[in-house]
């Protein structure tokens, strides 16, 4: 960034926080737009991703009334994957009961894995899933389960910069993933639910 420009500009925006970083981000975004790039790596070297013998990809969905009706877990163990949904298709979702059922299932899986000398990690993207568990069951009640959680967004933030942010729907396609649906997301899930 031009030093002369900063000398004139910064006194005008003292009421704003992080101005220099915001300017640097704007310059980076402009270059990405020019080059047609959606995602850039900001670090070098291999990514240190936590791994375990049992890995679970975890996501939740909620209904139009903001009640969680689906706790979905894709369990990967030894190259084999199985899907474990805890779901209610009822109009009167008891989201607390579903959360309790999910946590009981996960605790059972963790205990079973421990007996075999295996570790379990539960991958999620952002803090939506852990916050839902805490909201519904209380932090103390789920602390043991949350100890297995890995927020992939936090890892992505350490290593990448996204033209349109680092939301999963932006990052995944930039890394080569394609959903089978044209417009995947929570709103589409609500349409299917209804």
Instruction: Quote the mean pLDDT of the chain.
Output: 89
The length of the chain in residues reads 194
Per-residue confidence band for 191, with pLDDT thresholds at 50, 70 and 90: low
Question: What value does the mean pLDDT take over residues 114-128?
Answer: 97
Question: What value does the mean pLDDT take over residues 119-139?
Answer: 97
Per-residue confidence band for 185, with pLDDT thresholds at 50, 70 and 90: low
Q: Quick one: three-class SS letters along the chain?
A: CCHHHHHHHHHHHCCCCCHHHHHHHHHHHHHHHHHCCCEEECCCCCCCCCCCCEEEEEEEEECCCCCEEEEEEEEEECCEEEEEEEECCCCCCCHHHHHHHHHHHHHHHHHHHHHCCCCEEEEECCCHHHHHHHHHHCHHHHHHHHCCEEEHHHHHHHHEEECCCCCHHHHHHHCCCCCCCCCCCHHHHHHHHC
Q: What pLDDT is attached to residue 137?
A: 98
Give the residue, 18 or 135, on which the prediction is more confident.
135
Q: What is the pTM of this model?
A: 0.83
pLDDT exceeds cutoff 70 at 193 = no
């Amino acid at each position: 960034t031009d030093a002369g420009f900063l000398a004139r500009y910064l006194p005008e925006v003292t009421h704003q926080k992080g101005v220099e970083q915001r300017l640097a981000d704007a310059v980076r975004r402009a270059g990405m737009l020019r080059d047609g790039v959606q995602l850039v790596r900001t670090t070098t070297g291999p990514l240190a991703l936590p791994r375990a013998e049992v890995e679970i990809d975890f996501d939740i969905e909620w209904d139009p009334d903001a009640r969680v009706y689906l706790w979905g877990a894709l369990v990967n163990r030894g190259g084999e994957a199985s899907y474990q949904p805890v779901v209610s298709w009822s109009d009167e979702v008891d989201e607390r009961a579903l959360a309790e059922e999910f946590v009981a299932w996960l605790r059972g899986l963790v205990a079973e894995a421990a007996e075999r000398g295996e570790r379990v990690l539960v991958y999620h993207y952002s803090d939506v899933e852990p916050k839902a568990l805490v909201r519904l069951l209380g932090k103390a009640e789920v602390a043991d389960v949350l100890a297995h959680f890995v927020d992939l967004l936090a890892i992505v933030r350490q290593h990448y910069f996204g033209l349109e942010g680092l939301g999963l729907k932006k990052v995944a396609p930039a890394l080569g993933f394609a959903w089978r649906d044209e417009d995947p997301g929570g709103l589409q899930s609500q349409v299917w639910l209804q």
